[in-house]
Amino acid sequence: MRLVPVQNLKENSQIAINIIDNEGRFMLKEGQKITSQGIQILNRLGVSYVYINDEYCFHQGSKKYSSKIEGIYEHIITLREIGTRIINGTSGATDVTEATSVASKIVDEILLLPKDFKISYEPNKLIANSLIEQTIYVAMMSTALGIKMELPKDQLVKLCLAALLKDVALLSPKIKIDNHAAYRTHPQVAYDYLKAMYDLNEDILKGVLQHHELFDGSGFPNQTKGSQICTFARIISLVDCFYEIKSKHAFLDSTEMLFETRLKQILLKFDAEMITYFIRNAEVFTLDTLIRLNNDDIAVVYENNSTNPFKPVVKIIRSNTYDEGELINLHESHLVIKRIEYYVEG
């Protein structure tokens, strides 16, 4: 299956993953063909991405856990209710219990995945709740990285909970985060708020406080660096940066070469151990992604490359040089990915 921005979606494309609204109602079901009216409705309601299947999707039976919006809808609802109580100033002890329950369920669900699952980017697909939905995806992938690092389960739950609570300061109208300087204080504000309101483990609180700190000391709010940054924060910060670059890159429709440059620049701000775990287990290009190579050949991402996630194995779709269906390992080739395509034209 292939992820396509709604703005690029074509009539008669086959939906690969159910699309639901923020009340849990089905809008489009797996296998349906999208109509021009359906595309207009998705645009009007603010849906950004959908998954489709076509003849160039070679992994139709393999759906990422994070792509199944129904599977995490329950978590979104719980966090939305907690967020509403924070906004209304009616939060209480039950919030931590409910958030911990979400974290435990996420950990259990990810621990059941095949051992070769990847840390990947998942864009917001649910209507509204963009901060909450992305927070859950970052928490899921932070947990996944923690699993790859072989953290014990109790630590994974704490890690996931820290990732779920990290942006709590951005939810409350009582906290003014209306400019860049104020935004850089939100981890400290969240730490102070959570410490005062709830009986949380200090490891969780430090994960919240330091989730924007960078190993080289260039992060915020306290420019903490090196080993002074706790493990939870180092994990969350790396995944958060990956998501931020990926989302901005998709929004700006930048070239893949520019994206690779930006991500590599960010990775230099993290410690070698964390980078190694990330590179070995990251899926920079999702399977079935259509791409244009720098020789203008059209190919599809066929297999991830654990040696270099920027250089996957691709399957040729259209070429003046290679045979259709030929597999090319970009790690061993002069070819590079030029940009993402969404359909094979002509």
CA dist 208 and 191 (Å) reads 6
| Average pLDDT estimate for 51-63 | 83
Please indicate, yes or no, whether residues 36 and 75 belong to a single structural domain of this protein: no
Please indicate, yes or no, whether residues 197 and 73 belong to a single structural domain of this protein: yes
Q: Is residue 261 very low, low, confident or very high in pLDDT (cuts 50, 70, 90)?
A: confident
For residue 76, what are its two tokens? Answer: 């979104």
Residue 30 lies in a domain: yes
So what's the pLDDT on residue 67? 55
State which H helix or E strand residue 132 sits in: helix 130-148
Whole-model pTM? Answer: 0.87
Residue 129 lies in a domain: yes
Residue 134 lies in a domain: yes
Residue 278 lies in a domain: no
Boundary-marking domain end, from 253, 281, 312: 253
Residue 152, preceding peptide bond in cis (omega within 30° of 0): no
Please indicate, yes or no, whether residues 214 and 311 belong to a single structural domain of this protein: no
Residue range of the domain that includes 308: 290-341
| Average pLDDT estimate for 258-275 | 82
Q: Is the pLDDT at 19 greater than 50, yes or no?
A: yes
Amino acid at site 95: D
Residue 272 lies in a domain: no
So what's the pLDDT on residue 251? 46
CA dist 99 and 139 (Å) reads 12
How far is the CA of 285 from the CAs of 60, 301, 342, in angstroms? 16, 7, 13
Please indicate, yes or no, whether residues 97 and 150 belong to a single structural domain of this protein: yes
Residue 267 lies in a domain: no
Please indicate, yes or no, whether residues 214 and 118 belong to a single structural domain of this protein: yes
> Which phi and psi (to 5°) does residue 75 adopt?
-65, -40
Give the total number of structural domains in the chain: 3
Please indicate, yes or no, whether residues 37 and 72 belong to a single structural domain of this protein: no
Q: Is the pLDDT at 130 greater than 80, yes or no?
A: no
Per the model's pLDDT, the better-predicted residue between 184 and 126 turns out to be: 184
Residue 282 lies in a domain: no
Q: Is residue 47 very low, low, confident or very high in pLDDT (cuts 50, 70, 90)?
A: confident
Residue 193 lies in a domain: yes
Please indicate, yes or no, whether residues 134 and 205 belong to a single structural domain of this protein: yes
| Average pLDDT estimate for 19-26 | 74
CATH of the domain at 46: 3.90.105.10
Please indicate, yes or no, whether residues 35 and 153 belong to a single structural domain of this protein: no
CA dist 206 and 177 (Å) reads 20
CA dist 62 and 116 (Å) reads 12
So what's the pLDDT on residue 322? 96
